[in-house]
Amino acid sequence: MPSTPAADDQSLVERAQAGDEEAYAILVRRYSPAMMRLARMYVPTAALAEDVVQETWVAVLRGIERFEGRSSFKTWLFRILVNRAKTRGVREHRSIPFASLGSGGEAGEDGDDGPTVDPERFGRDGGWTSAPRNWEDDPEQALNSKEARRIVLEAIDTLPERQKVVITMRDLDGLSSEEVRNALDLSETNQRVLLHRARAKVRTALEDWIDA
């Protein structure tokens, strides 16, 4: 996804708010695919995700929540989107109403605060007994494949919601740690723990696939 300077986005927003449809269309085309993907994690259907995305754009146009350029445009936009998607998700009984994505215990809340690698792969001394293979040798080809991306998406889809949202924003949409923390009201530690668990599970899924 193209990442443009916030100033550029900001001027587009201002032009759109002043009635410039072309500016609005550029913003919509630039960000809506990622917004749809993110919204879909909170609501059960694509139609509801579309509603959420549309509500978000209308909120942007109305300038209900001011973009002050303190964070990136994308952070601000995703923050509005996530808040709306959460509200809608709760209404549709899909989403657990975690008061905010940030608060609450960071371990255990997602029901999996154990080790991220199967403990049976380590011996008593803590060394590997079932060592990770060197992926550099052969599967480079495999990892570039459509199938690898499918495996990853499938793994992400099975993650608990908070992990799913964090890895999507960080690693798929390319937001920084600070941007994600701001968009989701997460502490630094909490964001990192969620990301760690999510990434570890995706790695395991790829490993299982490659070793199969």
Partner 1 sequence: MVELVTEYLEGALAPADRVRFETHIAACAHCSAYLEQMRMTLSVVGHIEPDELDPKVERDLLDAFEDWKAGGA
Nearest approach, Cβ of residue 43 and partner 1 (Å):
14
Asked if 127 touches partner 1 (CB under 8 A), the answer is yes
Query: What does the alpha-carbon distance between residue 174 and residue 192 come to, in Å, rounded to a whole number?
Result: 15
Q: Which is nearer to partner 1, 11 or 97 (CB)?
A: 11
User: How many residues line the site for partner 1 (CB under 8 A)?
Assistant: 51
Three-class SS state of 200: helix
For 140, what's the count of Cα atoms within 13 Å in the CB-facing half-sphere? Answer: 3
Pick the binder of partner 1 from 10, 44, 98, 171 (CB under 8 A): 171
Six token digits for residue 205? 């899924």
- Per rule CB under 8 A, is residue 184 in the interface with partner 1? no
Binding mask 67-106 for partner 1 (x = CB under 8 A): ----------------------------------------
Phi, psi of 128 (to 5 degrees): -70, 135
Q: Where are the alpha helices (DSSP H) in the chain?
A: 6-17, 21-39, 46-62, 73-91, 140-143, 146-157, 161-167, 177-184, 188-211
Contacts of 100 (CB under 8 A, 6+ apart): 184, 185
Residues that bind partner 1 (CB under 8 A): 1, 16, 19, 21, 24-25, 28-29, 32-34, 36-37, 50, 53-54, 57-58, 61-62, 115-117, 127-128, 131-136, 143, 148-149, 152-153, 167, 171-172, 174, 177, 188, 192, 195-196, 199-200, 202-203, 206-207
